Structure 1
């Protein structure tokens, strides 16, 4: 099932999980998504949906892909996996590249190639690497380049193994291997929210945990909100949803004015690697609101003043502090969101803090953090040139095709942040501002 932001995909996923659990006393339903904070939000909503039905709720497990893999790994192997953080993987790759004398590839490229190709597909040899599809990796690599890179990846993997460390793709792979041959699966049905951000190892794992059957797996997602994973062929992994999907067209969350502006950021039709198309035009919103406010500030002080005025207006209309979210492209700009919230006399709290979501506090964070959340009022700040799209990513582009992929995912990230808003949206940056702001204002 697909649909643009705010069309109720998550609501459908929740109702499907509840219906499956009600229909069979022996059901063991998994409701899963990309992050644990979002999984916890789903769990709270599910508790409301199944209020007074304790036996139904008990048949549903809600967990993120990583939390699920962590728990199943412990059940299969009797110990918890020690997962290396991304910075440690990057450091291992950089050290291996230096030792091998491979200095023509950036740190970001090495990490992406290892994570999205070598580790995702659990490649174990240079021969296998040469034949592994690099779906979503737009920069071309010939056989000689792959042969040159392979010792770097092999050495980095060996260094992590020596420390007893795993990567998440390796954990997913171990769980997949442990459960794929078992006749008795841990779940009878699996419902996946935000399915567009599934990677190769995550999808393989979910397939291994579900029994055979046409309706054992249900996916809800939006290709236009893919921000975490490169595209790849689901059909190649045995999951073919062509001709079996439905597109939702009524937006219940976002006002017509905000949705219409945000839709200008993306093409009218998005295709996946299996040829399936998602038409984005024709969606309607069920309510109106003020148009988005777009501020091209001369300096950061002017941007902050506009943000403070926006928050004050929202508060005057009865919007609570906890119903406001302020987002920036990366942590380097987080102080600009913090200054705006504090200048309005409110308490900012990062989404990773225990106080996030508490009454009287404004959530601040990066655009990635906005994924899966919703607010009555949203501020997207620091939309400066060289910040959005992120200049570091552009500098790391290997060729024109790679650059196109970077611009596409940066647009989708911006779209995700803007569509978190229900009633009010402020988009602001300091001159020269991001080129994406022009697209928001096109007729």
Structure 2
């Protein structure tokens, strides 16, 4: 049986107390060893619109929410009893009818029921009419266009009714790929071309941003030991495309700060090391603190037991230059101190002696 973990599980896991997290880990490891859950008390969540949602008892108050089919078991959520049940009752997990990607979808009518009028950020935008009504952003898009970008079928009418004020409140209820494509359309007037559906709905790039296959206990330990390091488990489809792409020569990845260039570089180094068992990979940075941070993150992404870490060197350019000088001359380089620099001037870069 395929064993998977969702980003919604890792996010909810981090909100638990330390003792509860420890109990959850023990239950999850047991479940991975025995997907039938014979050692846990499994109960179908009858009020959920999705018949495949089950709960598993961790302790007196904490419950796992599991999505179980004939050939897969997905860790979807974990929380206190009432919170866990409420989460499952308002969602379903299914392959989108057009894109083929597995989605975690909020049930439209139940979201409307629980939206409190005083809480404006969760109230669904109401359709508006008349000459004073703000223009609807997506009125020109038909069902096929909206479905092609991953909008769930029961949210089509809400999307077409959304104006600029209501879009961002609506977007938080949609799968990420649909919200991003709609935002792009609102800004540029163009829809991104659909991604061809793969053989497995879990292998779709949009599914991979929120759900990961767990191959063994080692990978499960990583996901639970470092739940805050989501970059180490989940990649955005645009990042994954760069990580997996085959280049014929040097390549440059450009982007502003915070767009994930370093994450891509780290995943790329690990992929190259795994694909070439005899290769040694150098991951260089201008900053020694960043190089040190990359070395720590590498242990999360590829534990030493996999034989990957010893073949990837993370270093700063200055550290590399010092090491090369020492190998060539048999002594450490003498680097002159940086001269004092008054206000408004830029000190020159250090030079090797």
TM-score after normalising by structure 1: 0.21
Relative contact order higher in (CA < 8 Å, ≥ 6 apart) = 1
Which has more radius of gyration? 2
State TM-score, norm by structure 2. 0.25
